[in-house]
Structure 1
Amino acid sequence: MVVLDIFAVMLLMGLVLGFAGTGGSGFIIGILVAGFAIPVHTALGTSIAAMAFTTLSGSISHIKEGNARLRSGLIIGAFGAGGAYAGTFLARLIAEEQLLWLTSGMLLLSGLLIWLRTSSVFPKKEFPLEEETVTLAKLRFWCLAIVTGLVTGSLSGIFGIGSTPFIQLALLVLFGFPLRQAVGTTMVVILPIAVFGSIGFFQAGYLDFTLLIQVVAGTMIGSYIGAKFTRRAPRLLLRSAMIMTPIAGALLLLVKL
């Protein structure tokens, strides 16, 4: 019964995550800790590993839908992978209650940043992106890719979250991506971050493979389906999903506290 409950919840969550272009690690942590009483470090390691599978499924769907820039996302994600792996070593030293507070606070900040950036507080007219081959040839792109990857990857490794709002914010502000391209490319960026973050937590003994299979079975299916609706969704609905996903995860963790 518990297995079926976890699968059903993760299937519904996967639909939201794929639609919003987020790996949803923070959301997964909140559900596992508050809903199924999983220890936070185990939930953290399991969720970031599940995020690798979720973002793989969602990335494929977003690429097919024309919502993602594959090479740009993989380059940023490669630098993020190094930051994520290093960050897991610090996460091991943080006590459970402190980690719950820190992770929930980071998720609330994530939602706030996305709300500010996509609101009229910072109006931004979207312009078509230049050809990707032109972008990759610029030094500015590589400097931004290194900083963005290392910072967001480190946050993922330390707090067990995908840093989705931070990545989306960077793609919107620093790289000038339109909203839908930012959503899709974010999933590509998260993929290597999640893989190397999960390796770090596995080495620390915080990865539950039985739980991982249950989580992945639901989120991969849901994420692939959810990504199909991103391109067709009204901007307001897409923006709302991006904002509420990290906030919902934070509230679940605060309920546990």
Structure 2
Amino acid sequence: MLTDLEVKKQEGKITDDEKKFQDVLQQCLLVSECSRLLPSGSEMDSVSLLGLHKQDLQQTLPSETDVLWVRERLQMQLEEALRKKCFTFLSFHQPETDEESEVLRAAKALRLAKTLRDEKRRLRNEREKHQEMMATLEKQQETYPSVLLRCLSLLRQAASDLRLKAQSELDKMNVEYLETKSNALFLKLRMEELQVLTDTYTAEKVEIHKHIRSSLEAAVKSEKTELSASRQILASYEFLGTQFEELVKEYTQLRDKIKDNRWAIEELSKTVP
């Protein structure tokens, strides 16, 4: 602020009020700076610079009226400077506010500090995340070669498995081809066999064999009929059970007795003249 007033003074554009404000303010600042260099009340026994005391410097201050006037003017100018500075920050942060009204810009300027704090917090979080991501990226870069080697190993293994699978499929196809070729050879042999049979058995021989087969089938049929009849008779005998056995014994005894009687008659006939 004093620098701006000094520039205006050098350019000859300073007003009387501004010149008075500059002089009074400089005088107050000079007294304040000198008072700061003097020893405090607890150090009264020590020797001060040039033998001066704060009371001596207080006498060089401007009048109280001028000090109050400067204080009010300084407060107003500081508020105006701060307002302009806030608007400058607001324009830098939100350029679109340059076209808005003074009241709206002032309201946004009041929230600018909170907005900047939030953005600062967000940027700090983003920086931390970025650092974490960089750390993760470094770890990934460290593990990348081993992962790449592992992938190459897996690819090599997959290629080997694929080659073995392809070889297995090729072998299977070869087996199927050989099997088909063998079947074709067997069919060819069967055709040759049938051709030999065709050449061996002519139509006349086949007709004779058919006649022989018919005769044999008729004989087999007759035998089956007789066998069935015998089985029926045997079943009827088996149905009689123990009675059939007694009849058989009685029949056997009678047959033996008849045989003995015949033998006796024959012997008797031989003795009779």
The structure with the greater share of residues assigned to helix is: 2
TM-score by length of 1: 0.19
The structure that has the greater radius of gyration is 2
TM-score by length of 2: 0.18
Question: Could you say which structure has the greater relative contact order, defined with CA pairs below 8 angstroms and 6 or more residues apart?
Answer: 1
